Structure 1
């Protein structure tokens, strides 16, 4: 049975999310519809890319992923369908796919060209649903689009590495439910540049000289509980997606605060890592 996932910036208050699900079920009865997220910040393709990149591979091969973020068609924002890593993605060609799978070569890539047959001002509901259901029925990409050589690239969001190879300048690309701040600095980049050297991470006025493997790794459980530094402890970790993350142990943005609120870190803020000689 086909699986279609939805990732959008629609939220849950408005009718958009429900309408898209209804349209899918009207086209293809019995399909499995899975919500990845509908709380992407409006038009924020970097945030959407982080969410999808770290979720899609958990689904079975052949899953179809609709991405409804910055999806209005314009002369500079065409629609694409792509087969990549044995999954299918339907989205705008706004650079998001270059962020999701920069190191994976597409198996097939087409620019969707069925718009003349569909009257729409809501492309996710009309165009993306049609394409997803076509694929779910076993249809090929060539039927709904023309082949194109590559997706639009976004490179300006990559971390900057200086000529001396002793500094990485990244930025905040995602803030999770707990207010933890995820940077665009991967473990791979950190280790390739760091080469085991000591370092300092600067995030506004806060600095770190250690990166932990998990949140609990930062806590000394050998100390008596009353003497431990636990709730409110600032820490840097390699998160489950292998990116450098700034966090507060057992944070809660609504009560005790979080890395974002307490350290004043917001999307696109700069994170600087300096390695010692």
Structure 2
């Protein structure tokens, strides 16, 4: 049974997500439709790129991923279908696949050219759904598009490194449900540039000189629980996706606050790591 995933910035208040699912089931009643997220910050490509990069790989090869973020079809925002790492991606050519493509080369890429047969201006309901159902039936990309050789990249999605490797200049690209702030600085680039040197990570007024492996690393379990006083304490970790994350221990945005609310961290907030000179 084919799997089609949906990632959008539509939210769930409006009829759009339901309409997309209805259009898919109308063509393929037995397809398996999976919601990845419908709460991407509107038009925020970097956030969508992070979510897609860290979710698609858990699905079986052959899964079809529809990405409806900043997807209006214009002369500067073409629609593409891409076969990458055994998965199909249907999206606008707006840089949303650049994190995945940073290390992997697509097997096939086409610009979708079926728009002249579509009357609606609802991108996901027409072009993307038609393309996804075509692939799910076993159709090839060449039938619905012409080959392309490149895709757009997002300006600023990757951190900048000084020529002398004295600092990494990154930014917050995602804030999760706990208010933890994920940066675009990966463990890989941190270790490659840092080479074990002492460092200071700064984000607004916050300063950190250590990056933990787990949230609970800041807890001294030799101290009785009532005397620990670590709830809401700030820390940095390498999260499960391999990115540096600024968090608070057992945060709750609705009660005690979170890294985002307590430290004033927002998407695009600068995050700088300064390394000691050798």
Q: Report the counterpart of residue 5 of structure 1 in structure 2.
A: 5
Q: Report Cα offsets for 1:191-211 as digits up to 9, x if no partner.
A: 000101111111111101110
Are 1:153 and 2:153 matched, yes or no?
A: yes
CA distance in 1, matches of 2:20, 2:207: 45
TM-score w.r.t. the length of structure 2 is 0.98
Q: Report the counterpart of residue 23 of structure 2 in structure 1.
A: 23
Deviation at 1:160, TM superposition (A): 1.0
Are 1:73 and 2:55 matched, yes or no?
A: no
TM-score w.r.t. the length of structure 1 is 0.98
> Which runs of no fewer than 5 residues in structure 1 stay unpaired?
none
CA distance in 2, matches of 1:210, 1:153: 31
SS at match of 2:266: coil
Segment drifting more, 98-107 vs 200-209? 98-107
Q: Report the counterpart of residue 131 of structure 1 in structure 2.
A: 131
Aligned 8 A contact 2:173 2:183 in 1 = yes
CA distance in 2, matches of 1:58, 1:222: 37
Are 1:85 and 2:82 matched, yes or no?
A: no
Aligned length: 277
Aligned 8 A contact 2:46 2:154 in 1 = no
Q: Report Cα offsets for 1:60-118 as digits up to 9, x if no partner.
A: 00000000000000000000000000000000001111133321100000000000011
Q: Report Cα offsets for 1:221-261 as digits up to 9, x if no partner.
A: 12222221320111000001010000000001110000000
SS at match of 1:39: coil
Q: Report the counterpart of residue 261 of structure 1 in structure 2.
A: 261
Are 1:102 and 2:110 matched, yes or no?
A: no
CA distance in 1, matches of 2:72, 2:23: 18
Aligned 8 A contact 1:53 1:101 in 2 = no
Q: Report the counterpart of residue 225 of structure 1 in structure 2.
A: 225
SS at match of 1:119: coil
Deviation at 1:138, TM superposition (A): 0.4
Aligned 8 A contact 1:81 1:90 in 2 = yes
CA distance in 1, matches of 2:121, 2:43: 17
CA distance in 2, matches of 1:122, 1:221: 54
Q: Report the counterpart of residue 211 of structure 1 in structure 2.
A: 211
CA distance in 1, matches of 2:190, 2:161: 10
Q: Report the counterpart of residue 184 of structure 1 in structure 2.
A: 184
Deviation at 1:123, TM superposition (A): 1.0
Runs of 4+ in 1 over 3 A off after TM superposition: none
CA distance in 1, matches of 2:72, 2:172: 26
> Which runs of no fewer than 5 residues in structure 2 stay unpaired?
none
CA distance in 2, matches of 1:155, 1:189: 18
